[in-house]
Amino acid sequence: MRKLITSVALLSATSALACSFSVGTKGANTPPNGATPASTPAPQGTTATPTPVPAGGPQVTAAGGRVTGFGGKKPSTSTTGTMGNPPPTGTGTATPAGTATPASAPVMAGTNPFGTGTPDPNGGWRGSVFWIPAGTTKMPALASMTANGYLFASTINVAHQAMTGGFPGIDATKNENFAIRFEGPLLVENEADYEIRVLSDDGAIVSMDGMVIVDNDGNHDAKDKTGPVHLVKGTHLVQVDYFQTTGKVALQLFVKKMGGGTEQVFPSRL
């Protein structure tokens, strides 16, 4: 079982529900001013105490998301951005794709099954939308692609249905051959083992702090897949990559505490 350790201090509920994020490479994060680094090398002559390995698998120490408030702002047309995200550098860092919004990439107008053009002031998700080639069978390399547009969603809960209406304001005729990268912060207040379940048609991959938790990739009808994860207190960056070729669409993300918890649509805090 994966164990995610964030490098971000626990945030207040207010700041966590309206936030943006940027992620550095593992071990290369620079903590905010005044913050204590996630780890400090042991002094010479001493032996660092190893962190216990959780039952069921290795411990994973992932790069945590540095969270800054944006409170429902739309993506900036600036090359540096105002959502706490630097532009992609092409250096292979864990910076989310599409964090710098080109002036030519529109925000969706109106609604479709995947979201709206209006950010949720309480948090939620931002989706970067990409057009992909017909016949795609595996998740495209979204990190190396330029987004065709952007949308926002309060939850990821698209039931199995026909796709109509496209992406208003981006391409209202585009009902097939697209991908969406959803990104959102998760504030964990209750450390525990959780089970993540994603149902998708076609493929979907769920990651937290850069680590793949559920891989439901491939060109397939609606099916679900689950993955366990141990979440420690703090703010984690959640990423859901999804692609659709032809036919119906579906994308639903759920979570429950292991050991008798009730499954719920994936929230912005646990």
Burial of 100: CB neighbours in 10 Å, binned 0-12, 13-18, 19+: buried
HSE (side-chain half, CA atoms, 13 Å) at 8:
27
Give the C-alpha separation, 15 to 121, whole Å: 11
Task: For 120-165, give the DSSP string.
Answer: BTTB-EEEEEEE--TT--S---GGGS--SEEEEES--EEEEE---S
Position with higher pLDDT, 78 vs 242: 242
Q: Which two tokens stand for residue 269?
A: 């805090």
Report whether 228 contacts 248 (CB < 8 A): no
Cα distance between the two ends of the chain: 18
**Worst-scoring range by mean pLDDT, 79-83, 105-109, 180-184, 200-204?**
79-83
* pLDDT in the model for residue 260: 86
pLDDT, averaged across the chain: 73
214 CB contacts (<8 Å, ≥6 apart)? 196, 197, 198, 204, 205, 206, 225, 226, 227
* pLDDT in the model for residue 226: 97
Give the C-alpha separation, 161 to 17, whole Å: 29
Domains, the chain, with CATH or none: 2-265 (2.60.120.260)
Give the C-alpha separation, 166 to 246, whole Å: 13
| DSSP designation for 31 | P
Q: Which residue has the tokens 């190396």?
A: 144
**Tell me: the pLDDT tens digits for 130-179?**
999 999 999 999 999 999 999 999 999 999 999 999 999 999 999 999 99
Is pLDDT of 255 > 80?
Answer: yes
Position with higher pLDDT, 95 vs 266: 266
Q: Please give the average per-residue pLDDT across 39-60, as a whole number.
A: 40
